[in-house]
C-alpha cells in the first residue's frame, strides 16, 4: 500500500453495509483504478469476505480482538480476517475504544498474523502514548469534530502539525469532518500522509463524485 492514503470507514451506515457495502467498495475500486491513487476502505466484519472478493484495493476490518482459535464467542478472529483477504485493521476508533493493555495486545496480534494497523487517537498526547505499541499508522481524530461540518484541517490545523512533529511524517493520518479536496490538501501540506473519513463519502448522494474530488487533493 502506497502513501498518501485516503481511508474511508464504512461504519454501519445503511448505505455502506450488506449489498450496499459491496457496491460502494466497487466505486472506490473504480476511482483508484482511474486515478491511480491509494484508496482503502474499512468495513464491518460481516461484510469483510464479500467485499474482499470484489475489490483489490486495501480492505480493513473495523476491529479485531486479541484472540486465537478457541472458545472466544462473539470475538473477531484476526487469523480469519487475514484469511478473508483483509489488508489490515482499524483499531481504537472513538466509537470502539480499547484500554491500553488490550490495544497493545491487539496490535501485536495483528502483526503476528500480517495485518496492517491503523490506530485511532483522539488527541496528539494519546497518539504519542500509542506510538510505543508500534502501529503502522496513527489516525488523529478530535472526537468533537467527527461527523461534523467543519474538518480538522480547517478547525484545528495545529493539531495536524503537532501530530506530525511528535509521531512522524510517514505515520500520521488525520480525520474528523474531512469532506473535500481542500481538507485533504491542507492535511497533506501540513505533513500528514493521508486522511480517514466516513460520512463525507458514505452518506453522499454521489460517492463517485465525492471520491474524485477528495483524491484530487492528493
**Active-site residue numbers?**
93, 141
Burial class (CB in 10 A: 0-12, 13-18, 19+), 2: exposed
Taking alpha carbons only, the member of 8, 4, 15, 75 closest to residue 45 is 75
Q: Which residues of 152-162 are buried (b: 16+ CB within 10 A; e: fewer)?
A: bbebbbebbeb
Query: Rounded to an integer, what is the distance from CA 123 to the centroid of its chain?
Result: 16
Taking alpha carbons only, the member of 144, 104, 105 closest to residue 123 is 144
- The residue written with cell numbers 474499512 in the block is 42
Amino acid at each position: 500500500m502506497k502513501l498518501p492514503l485516503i481511508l474511508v470507514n464504512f461504519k454501519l451506515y445503511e448505505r455502506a453495509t450488506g449489498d450496499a457495502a459491496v457496491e460502494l467498495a466497487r466505486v472506490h475500486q473504480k476511482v483508484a483504478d482511474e486515478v491511480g491513487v491509494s484508496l482503502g476502505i474499512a468495513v464491518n466484519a460481516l461484510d469483510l469476505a464479500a467485499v474482499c472478493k470484489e475489490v483489490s484495493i486495501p480492505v480493513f476490518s473495523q476491529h479485531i480482538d486479541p484472540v486465537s482459535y478457541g472458545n472466544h464467542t462473539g470475538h473477531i478472529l484476526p487469523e480469519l480476517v487475514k484469511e478473508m483477504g483483509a489488508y489490515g485493521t482499524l483499531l481504537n476508533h472513538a466509537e470502539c475504544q480499547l484500554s491500553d493493555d488490550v490495544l497493545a495486545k491487539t496490535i501485536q496480534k495483528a502483526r503476528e498474523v500480517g495485518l496492517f494497523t491503523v490506530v485511532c487517537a483522539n488527541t496528539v498526547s494519546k497518539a504519542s502514548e500509542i506510538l510505543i505499541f508500534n502501529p503502522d499508522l496513527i489516525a488523529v481524530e478530535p472526537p468533537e469534530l467527527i461527523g461534523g461540518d467543519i474538518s480538522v484541517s480547517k478547525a484545528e490545523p495545529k493539531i495536524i502539525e503537532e501530530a506530525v512533529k511528535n509521531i512522524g511524517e510517514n505515520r500520521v493520518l488525520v480525520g474528523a469532518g474531512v469532506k473535500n479536496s481542500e481538507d485533504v490538501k491542507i492535511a497533506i501540506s501540513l505533513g500528514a500522509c493521508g486522511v480517514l473519513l466516513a460520512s463525507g463519502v458514505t452518506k453522499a448522494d454521489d460517492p463517485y463524485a465525492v471520491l474524485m474530488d477528495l483524491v484530487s487533493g492528493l
